[in-house]
Structure 1
Amino acid sequence: MPRQAPVSHLALIRARNGQAEQVGKQLNLLLQPARKALGCLDYQLYRSPAQPQLWVVQGVWTGLQEMEAHFNSEPMQILEVLVANRTVSEMRFHTFEDVSQLADELASYL
Structure 2
Amino acid sequence: MPAFNRPSHLVSIRARSGQSHRLGLRLQELAQAGQAAPGCLRYELRQADGDPDLWLLHSEWSDDAAMQAYLAGDAQRVFAEVLWQALAATLDVQERPFCNRAGG
TM-score, with structure 2 as normaliser? 0.84
Taking the aligned partners of 2:80 and 2:93, their CA distance within structure 1 comes to: 13
Question: How many equivalent residue pairs?
Answer: 96
Provide the secondary structure at the position in 2 that maps to 1:52. Answer: strand
Kept in 1: contact 2:33–2:74 (CA 8 A): no
> In the alignment, which residue of structure 2 is the partner of 1:48?
48
Taking the aligned partners of 1:37 and 1:82, their CA distance within structure 2 comes to: 20
> In the alignment, which residue of structure 2 is the partner of 1:61?
61
The answer to whether residue 31 in structure 2 is matched with residue 9 in structure 1 is: no
Unaligned runs of at least 5 residues, structure 2? 99-104
Kindly state the Cα deviation for residue 34 of structure 1 after the two structures are TM-superposed. 1.0
CA gap of 1:90–1:75, structure 2 versus 1, over 3 A, is: closer
The within-5 A match list for 1:1-110 is: 3=1, 5-74=5-74, 76-97=76-97
Taking the aligned partners of 1:32 and 1:82, their CA distance within structure 2 comes to: 16
Taking the aligned partners of 1:50 and 1:75, their CA distance within structure 2 comes to: 26
Across the aligned residues of Structure 1 and Structure 2, the Cα RMSD in angstroms comes to: 1.7
1:43-101 CA deviation, whole Å, 9 max, x = no partner? 00010131100000111001111100000123541111110111111000001129xxx
Letter in 2 for 1:10: L
Please tell me whether Structure 1 or Structure 2 has the larger radius of gyration of its CA atoms.
1
TM-score, with structure 1 as normaliser? 0.80
Kept in 2: contact 1:10–1:56 (CA 8 A): yes
Provide the secondary structure at the position in 2 that maps to 1:53. Answer: strand
